[in-house]
Amino acid sequence: MDEYRKSIEDGIVESYRQDEDMMIMVFAQWCINEGLNPEELYMQAYPQQQSNERLQRVLELTVSKEEAGPIPDDTVLGVLSLFGNEDLAFIVSEAISRRAQKN
């Protein structure tokens, strides 16, 4: 029974990790599409962290703006909030506001 429970727990943790990676991917690709540096925005939100290894890994999977489909602002904000990244969502909101002011 313990082995079965451990297997289920491991599966849940792995599923969450994959979902979290997808959230990071949405954020990173949105940044690329908007001409922003994902690492810079991340550091603004979380200056106490030296580097985010998972962000580094996901950045290797991003594509150019021309290759990517559009990612609506609401989508990236929703995904960040869903995973409790309120600080990063705030920084993204500020970037959206700056973009709106330029237009």
Output the pTM of the full model.
0.88
DSSP 8-class letter at 18: H
Number of domains in the chain: 1
Helices (H) and strands (E) in the chain, counts: 5, 0
- The residue segments making up the domain with residue 55 are 2-102
pLDDT tens column, 4-46: 888 888 888 888 888 899 999 999 999 999 999 999 999 999 9
pLDDT at 64: 94
pLDDT tens column, 84-100: 999 999 999 999 999 98
Phi-psi region of 49 (alpha: psi -120 to 50; beta: other; left: phi over 0): beta
What tokens appear for 42 in the block? 């991340």
Distance in angstroms (rounded) separating the CA atoms of residues 73 and 96 = 8
Going by C-alpha positions, the residue among 5, 52, 50 that lies closest to residue 27 is 52
pLDDT at 1: 63
pLDDT at 17: 85
Name residue 73's amino acid.
Answer: D
pLDDT at 30: 98
pLDDT tens column, 62-86: 999 999 999 999 999 999 999 999 9
Going by C-alpha positions, the residue among 25, 43, 37, 33 that lies closest to residue 80 is 25
Burial class (CB in 10 A: 0-12, 13-18, 19+), 91: buried
